[in-house]
């Protein structure tokens, strides 16, 4: 699917609107993480994906969080 759009101003940045049919086909909405890649005169937009192994590899003793006490169970929670 192809569409024409225009570059608009968004604060001090520029923005490109993604037409709803393309957003629906692509499975993205406001707040979706994307990656922009500039290749000469081509701009490539990709859905951002995360690799659990890579994310876990970034955990160190300096940035690991301890347990968080959320209080007593509510409803039918079992701990």
CA distances from 34 to 17, 24, 27, 57, 64 (A): 13, 15, 12, 22, 26
Reported as a single tens digit per residue, the pLDDT across 48-77 is 888 899 899 999 999 998 898 888 888 887
Q: What pLDDT is recorded for position 36?
A: 92
CA nearest to 5, candidates 19, 22, 26: 19
Q: Which helix (H) or strand (E) holds 55?
A: helix 52-57
Q: What pLDDT is recorded for position 71?
A: 86
Q: Does domain 7-53 fall into CATH 1.10.155?
A: no
Delimit the domains of the chain by residue range.
7-53
Average per-residue pLDDT in the chain? 90
Is pLDDT above 90 for 1?
Answer: no
Is pLDDT above 70 for 16?
Answer: yes
């Amino acid at each position: 699917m192809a569409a024409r759009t225009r570059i608009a101003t968004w604060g001090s940045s520029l923005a490109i609107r993604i037409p709803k049919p393309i957003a629906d086909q692509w499975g993205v909405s406001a707040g979706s993480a994307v990656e922009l890649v500039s290749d000469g005169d081509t701009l490539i937009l990709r859905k951002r994906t995360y690799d659990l192994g890579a994310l876990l590899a970034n955990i160190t003793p300096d940035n690991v969080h301890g347990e968080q006490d959320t209080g007593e169970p509510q409803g039918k929670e079992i701990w």
